[in-house]
Amino acid sequence: MGLLKKYITMFRTDMKEVMSRRCGLDELNYFIIIVAFILIGIALFSSKVIALVLGVACVVLCFVRSFSKKVEQRAKENAFYMRYMGGIVKLCGYLKLCVMMKIKSIRDAEYVYFVCKTCGQIVRVPKGRNKVNIRCPKCNTTFIKRT
């Protein structure tokens, strides 16, 4: 068991060193992977070979971008993507956070969770207070919500 632990530690160290000089995942890579899964799903449910080829090409492109050593060039590509799609990316992240907080509120019997629209801070409020004026502790924005 000690030998296996030693090899795992060595592998982690080597991977950390290798990935320190690489680009890694960014928002553009996430978008490419989502497009790849959609195309591969279309190919599975229909007999469209072109969708499968395009899906596999997207996966390969994502791997190439992730392991690229040209960090500046990949950063420029991601900045270009974020310039035009950044609002949608931020909106999707905000909606995901709101859904997660709604699920957390359903599970928690004592508190309701809200997300501040300006800074994204999670605010916890006791349930059963009717309409409450909530102040965000991070940015001091106030908003009225029903608990």
Give the pLDDT confidence of 104-113 residue by residue, as tens digits: 878 888 888 8
- Model pLDDT, residue 108: 82
Res 50: pLDDT: 92
Q: Which residue has the tokens 């190439």?
A: 64
DSSP-derived 3-state class of residue 104 = helix
The whole-angstrom separation of Cα 48 and Cα 38 is 13
What is the pLDDT at residue 144? 84
Query: Whose structure tokens read 């990935």?
Result: 19
CB 139 within 8 A of CB 116: yes
List per-residue pLDDT tens for the chain, 147 residues long.
Answer: 678 888 888 888 888 887 777 777 888 999 999 999 999 999 999 888 999 999 999 999 999 998 888 888 988 998 998 888 888 888 888 888 888 888 887 888 888 888 888 888 888 888 888 888 888 888 888 888 887
Q: Residue 1's pLDDT is what? A: 64
- From its phi and psi, is residue 130 left (phi > 0), alpha (psi between -120 and 50) or beta? left
Cα distances (angstroms) measured from residue 42 to each of 46, 55, 59, 76, 122: 6, 9, 15, 31, 37
Cα 3 to Cα 15, 51, 57, 83: the distances in Å are 18, 45, 39, 49
At residue 129, the pLDDT reads: 80
Give the 3-state secondary structure of residue 129: coil
